Amino acid sequence: MKAASLAIIKHELSTLPQKELLKLCLRLARYKTENKELLTYLLFESGDEAGYIKSVKDDVALQFSEINITHLYFARKSIRKILKIINKFIRYSGSKQTEAELLIFFCTQLKSSGIHYQSVTSLSNLYKNQLLKISKAISGLHEDLQHDYFEELEDL
């Protein structure tokens, strides 16, 4: 089965009655956890972006505290997993400011975790790529916010 284009899906959804849309959304949420998480964000958390960022930061801080730092192999796997989760939450939000804040928080947590990421090429490259993503996200923000975030980026 070939998936329809987004324009065709949008047109078809606009013709459906409200009860049918509700039924489709619930069915969609039942099949994948990510769909359910996205609907949860859109319905409950999109109005309070600061609260959303705080809850994600709390979750990330907890995950960083649980990293096994005895072996770099396990630490590297955990760091990649944390970054994957952060990117998922950034994708839900779609905001450049949220992206910049969460990635800056990730980098500061990585620096303060006690993991010698500079000595491992893959972790060092991961860190540098996050710095590039942060600067790219900051460049899409308002000038006043850019200044504040660039100062935080300089500290990293």
Domain boundaries, the chain: 48-155
Whether pLDDT at 60 is above 90: yes
Q: Indicate the pTM of the whole model.
A: 0.85
Given a contact cutoff of 8 angstroms between Cβ atoms, the answer to whether 74 and 123 are in contact is no
CA distance readout (Å), 22 to 17, 28, 41, 51, 81:
9, 10, 17, 27, 33
Q: How confident is the model at residue 104 (pLDDT cuts 50, 70, 90)?
A: very high
**Separation CA 6–CA 47 (nearest Å):** 25
